[in-house]
Each structure stands twice: as structure tokens, then as C-alpha cells.
Amino acid sequence: MQRRRVGSLEVSQVGLGCNNFGARLDQEHTTEVVNAALEVGINFFDTADIYGDTQSEVFLGKALGSRRADVVVATKFGMPLNGGGGAHPDYVRSACEASLRRLGTDYLDLYQVHFPDDTVPISDTLGALSELVAAGKVREIGCSNFSVAQLKEARDAAGEGPHFVSVQNQYSLLDRSPERDGVLALCEEWGLGFLPFYPLANGLLTGKFRPGEPVPEGTRLALMPPERSVHWLSDEFQRRVEALLTYADEVKVPILSLAFSWLLSHPSVSSVIAGASNPQQIAANAAALTTLSPEQLDTLNQLSS
């Protein structure tokens, strides 16, 4: 599998989102998924302290074992957890130590601010992250859910010190807000790696979901609380999914391939991070990449706008 850059890191174009670990998957099944990912050339594993109520990091660390040095591990901090959270320097330091301990490693390849914390000056947060980089505990730093204004503020505050090399925001054929809010353009201008989350729109773009039919049992959407699933099952999303499925049938390219390959047609997108609950999904994700023609890209842009 080909790789792209995130700062000094080289990551596989398809990454593995680890939010199922410790939640839907136990240690045995987590290890099966991790092994399957490594077998197909996936080297980028994205987790967070909050995933699986801290167990995602634990399960991932155990699954990797002696292969830790062969992969790129990204994790996040800042969301409410065990009475803590946020981006205060003291919390940044303690959260990092906790993640290192759970992962069973002495360094993090990419450490990301999970969500902006308006109560703490970004310069303070970056100061703590800079200390972690200097100590060799973190190789690169990134952020998630940041706006253009917040990215610019962070850039200015970083000065000559370590700065964010990646931005992880929602982006898919069903949510193209990074194009409208300027984040994607800024990533291209500054050379930041864009890491889209929800690239398959919580399963709507996997091919398993068919508008007008019951949501397949056991899927993320089926397990989602009604107050959240109502957003993804809206009439507007179903209309667009139906149009994309029809086009996928016309060009004989699975909608999964269209979703992944469209994202990677954007040079700033470094890796498409998708979750998986079994080795079969890993194989499908890894095999999904294809080169889309300019005409196909134009049509996808029209259908998803």
C-alpha cells in the first residue's frame, strides 16, 4: 500500500480507526483486526484515550506487541475522561503519560488535541506539547475539530517550536464542509496532513446501507442512539446516498471505492481512517483504492454537493 506524509511520518493511505477496540471488540478480536491490517500494509493506527473508555489504547498496545516500531500510532487527548479533560498543560502532561502507559510504549508518533479548549490559551497547550516532543515522548503533534481561525492562532503561537502537522476533521462525500470552511485549502497551503474522520459517513457509504430498507443489524448505525442516528438517516442524506449508489452501479465501482478514492484524490488528504470490526472489513478497505478519472470525480462532486 502506498504511503503519504504527515510531518516526518509516513502513513498508509488507508489507516485504521481504533474506536471499536474496547467497545465493540474484545482483546482477541482486536488482535485479529490489527493482524489483518498489518498483513495488507496498513501501518497507521488512530486511537484516543476516550475510545472504549481507555481500553482501545490498551488493546491496541497488546495487539501490536513487539511490532510497535513498525507502525505509526496516533492518539488524542482532551475529551472529558474520568473527571479530567481539556488542554491545560498539566492535563496534557498527565494524559500523555497515561496514554504511553496504556499503549505500552515510550513514545507516541502523533499526539492530537481532540477538541479545541477555549478556556486555555493555545500557547500554553503548545508549550506542554513542545516539552513532550523535546523529551522524546511525542514525535509529531496534531489537532482535531479545529477551524481555520484556530489553526492560524496555533500557528502564530507555535513560533519556532513544534507546530501542528495534521488536522483531523469530518470529511466525506456526504460532508464536504472542509472545502467550504477553508480548512482543506489551508492544509494544502501549509503542507498539513488532512485526516478525515467518518469517511464512510457512519456506514452510509459502505454499500451495506440501502435507502428505504431497514438498517442492517449490528452496524454502527443500528447501534447508535436514535437522537444521533436521526441525523445520518435524514431524507437529504438518503437522497444523496441513493444517487451515489446508482452511479456506483453505472460505472461498476463499489461505493466504498468511490468514497475512499474520492477523498484521496485530494493531495492534502494523507490517510483515510476507517474503523473495522473484522478482518473482512480490513481487506475491503485496503482493496478499495482505485484511480478515478476526471469525469468520475466531476460527477461525484456534482452528486455530493
**What top-level class would CATH report for the domain 3-202+256-289?**
alpha beta
Cβ contact 69:43 at 8 Å: no
The pLDDT value recorded for residue 102 is 98
Residues 6 or more apart whose Cβ sits within 8 Å of residue 143 = 112, 113, 116, 150, 151, 154, 164, 166, 167, 168
Residue 27 has what pLDDT? 98
The model's pTM is: 0.95
- Sheet architecture: strand order including 72-77: 193-194, 164-168, 138-144, 108-113, 72-77, 44-46, 14-17, 272-275
pLDDT value of residue 230: 85
For residues 231 and 229, what is the distance between their CA atoms, to the nearest angstrom?
A: 5
Structure confidence at residue 285 (pLDDT): 97
| φ/ψ (deg, to 5) at 68 | -50, -45
What pLDDT does residue 204 have?
93
For residue 193, what pLDDT is reported? Answer: 98
The residue among 31, 33, 72, 30 whose CA lies nearest residue 51 is 30
Neighbours of 92 (CB within 10 A): 26
**Which position has the grid cell 484515550?**
49
Amino acid (one-letter) located at 7: G
Any idea which residues carry the catalytic annotation?
51
Query: What SS3 string covers 128-153?
Result: HHHHHHHCCCEEEEEEECCCHHHHHH
Q: Per-residue confidence of the chain (305 residues) as pLDDT tens digits?
A: 999 999 999 999 999 999 999 999 999 999 999 999 999 999 999 999 999 999 999 999 999 999 999 999 999 999 999 999 999 999 999 999 999 999 999 999 999 999 999 999 999 999 999 999 999 999 999 999 999 999 999 999 999 999 999 999 999 999 999 999 999 999 999 999 999 999 999 999 999 888 888 888 777 777 788 888 888 888 899 999 999 999 999 999 999 999 999 999 999 999 999 999 999 999 999 999 999 999 999 999 999 98
| Alpha helices per DSSP H over the chain | 27-39, 55-64, 89-103, 122-134, 148-158, 177-180, 183-190, 220-223, 226-232, 235-251, 255-264, 279-286, 294-303
Q: Which residue has the cell 465493540?
A: 24
Instruction: Please provide the size of the chain in residues.
Output: 305
Predicted pLDDT at 303: 96
Distance CA 258, CA 11 (A): 21
Residue partners of 43: CB distance under 8 A and separation at least 6: 3, 10, 11, 12, 70, 71, 72
